[in-house]
């Protein structure tokens, strides 16, 4: 990432139940040049938004009020095999990382993560999209 900004903007869906964490992630994404961001609080809301918003990348928390994030990854992969999914786990949710990767998540970030870590995931997603 040169200068902290990506070379292209993406539609990013953030599925996170903590308003404070969503606000922080939105701020990081905007700083990285991604202003087209949708937010969901639950798996059901996230899946519904995928239909309308058409994300080019999804950030999904491990622990959500209606189901865990692994269930989102499973359901999303059944509909969309190509869009990158970054699974976000806190240290207390570490046991869900391997199941999320097995369900189809492309990357995992451990919260709290730095803007640089997020930028690397976005960069990898952009490169994967270019290669497709």
Q: pLDDT by residue (tens digit) across 45-97?
A: 999 999 999 999 999 999 999 999 999 999 999 999 989 999 999 988 889 99
Give this prediction's pTM.
0.89
pLDDT at 5 over 70: no
Under the banding of pLDDT at 50, 70 and 90, the label for residue 132 is low
Contacts of 12 (CB under 8 A, 6+ apart): 29, 34, 36, 37, 38, 55, 56, 57, 58, 59, 122
Rounded to a whole number of angstroms, the distance between the first and last alpha carbons of the chain is 20
């Amino acid at each position: 990432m040169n200068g902290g900004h990506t070379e292209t903007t993406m539609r990013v869906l953030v599925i996170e139940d903590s308003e404070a964490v969503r606000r922080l992630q939105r701020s990081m994404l905007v700083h990285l040049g991604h202003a087209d961001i949708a937010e969901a609080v639950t798996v059901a809301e996230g899946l519904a938004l995928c239909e309308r918003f058409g994300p080019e990348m999804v950030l999904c928390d491990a622990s959500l009020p209606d189901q865990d994030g692994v269930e989102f990854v499973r359901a999303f992969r059944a509909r969309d095999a190509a869009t990158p999914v970054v699974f976000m786990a806190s240290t207390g949710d570490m046991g869900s990382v391997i199941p999320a990767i097995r369900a189809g998540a492309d990357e995992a970030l451990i919260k709290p993560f730095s803007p640089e870590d997020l930028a690397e995931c976005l960069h990898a997603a952009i490169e994967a999209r270019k290669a497709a």
